[in-house]
């Protein structure tokens, strides 16, 4: 019989795995993805071999560590798409994604481009971009979104939102909300005169 049986981790292995994930989430959020794996192991109070046994690469660790943020991002996009007012839905998506990214430096880097081959990130990126493109098209048709808006404008603004990382973590979310509010105004179509 060559089928593999489900593998259940011992309780100590489950504890180690959870400590690694908790440490990775904390470090990635505060410092981004450039933190060495050895530092994550140190903060999780496990040896490097234990970390690599659970997560053989940083990419695998990041995908698992950011699973909740990926689900949150997906939910935000779905909420925007479901809004009967496409302009409101577009604004909601932009503002909430900016705030999500401001809270977690590592997630932004991972989601935008750090791990282009990570299937989970690639699928979520593709879904988000396709959905936001459809939402932007609807917002343009409503006359509320600038006619010359292109998706690259949104990407550029999300990249600019990364600049709030320079602010203290306590004020980062508020700075991101302010930035998003100003950016949305630049996306809005000029009222007829």
User: What residues make up the domain containing 48?
Assistant: 11-65
> What is the rounded CA–CA span in Å between residue 109 and residue 56?
20
Q: 87 and 58 share a domain? A: no
DSSP code, position 85: S
Classify residue 40: in a domain, yes or no.
yes
User: What is the count of structural domains for the chain?
Assistant: 2
pLDDT of residue 48: 94
Using alpha carbons only, give the angle 125, 127, 129 rounded to the nearest 5 degrees: 65
Q: 40 and 91 share a domain? A: no
Classify residue 3: in a domain, yes or no.
no
pLDDT of residue 2: 46
Average pLDDT over residues 122-135: 87
Token pair 């809005």: residue:
188
Classify residue 72: in a domain, yes or no.
yes
Of 65, 80, 110, the residue that ends a domain is 65
pLDDT of residue 113: 62
- 93 within 8 A of 80, measured Cβ to Cβ: yes
Classify residue 25: in a domain, yes or no.
yes
Q: 73 and 42 share a domain? A: no
Q: 142 and 81 share a domain? A: yes
pLDDT of residue 118: 58
Q: 15 and 91 share a domain? A: no
- 132 within 8 A of 154, measured Cβ to Cβ: yes
Classify residue 137: in a domain, yes or no.
yes
Encode pLDDT of 145-162 as tens digits.
Answer: 999 999 889 888 888 887
Average pLDDT, the chain: 85
Q: 89 and 168 share a domain? A: yes
Q: 29 and 77 share a domain? A: no
Q: 146 and 112 share a domain? A: yes
Q: Which residue, 38, 34, 68, 74, is CA-closest to 55?
A: 38
Around Cβ 22, how many Cβ atoms within 10 Å? Answer: 13
Q: Which residue, 97, 68, 79, 118, is CA-closest to 160?
A: 97
Q: 18 and 105 share a domain? A: no
Q: What is the pTM of this model?
A: 0.77
Q: 85 and 170 share a domain? A: yes
Q: 94 and 29 share a domain? A: no
Q: Which pLDDT band, with edges at 50, 70 and 90, does 129 fall under? A: confident
Name the packing angle between helices 67-82 and 58-65 (round to 10°).
Answer: 50
> What is the rounded CA–CA span in Å between residue 183 and residue 45?
42
pLDDT at 106 exceeding the cut of 90: no
pLDDT at 27 exceeding the cut of 80: yes
CATH of the domain at 135: 1.10.357
The phi, psi pair for 188, rounded to 5°, reads -70, 140
Q: 109 and 150 share a domain? A: yes
Q: Which residue, 6, 113, 21, 135, is CA-closest to 67?
A: 21
């Amino acid at each position: 019989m060559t089928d593999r049986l489900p593998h259940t981790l011992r309780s100590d292995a489950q504890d180690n795995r959870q400590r690694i994930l908790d440490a990775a989430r904390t470090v990635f959020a505060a410092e981004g993805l450039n933190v060495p794996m050895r530092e994550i192991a140190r903060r999780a109070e496990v040896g490097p071999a234990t970390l690599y046994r659970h997560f053989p690469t940083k990419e695998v660790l990041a995908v698992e560590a950011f699973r909740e943020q990926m689900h949150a991002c997906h939910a935000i996009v779905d909420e925007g798409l479901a809004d009967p007012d496409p302009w409101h839905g577009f604004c909601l998506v932009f503002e909430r994604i900016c705030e999500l990214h401001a809270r977690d430096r590592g997630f932004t880097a991972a989601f935008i481009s750090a791990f282009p081959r990570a299937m989970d990130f690639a699928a979520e990126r593709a879904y988000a971009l396709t959905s936001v493109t459809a939402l932007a098209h609807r917002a343009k048709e409503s006359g509320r979104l600038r006619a010359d808006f292109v998706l690259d404008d949104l990407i550029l603004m999300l990249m600019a939102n990364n600049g709030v990382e320079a602010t203290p973590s306590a004020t980062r979310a508020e700075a991101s909300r302010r930035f998003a509010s100003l950016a949305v105004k630049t996306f809005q179509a000029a009222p007829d005169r």
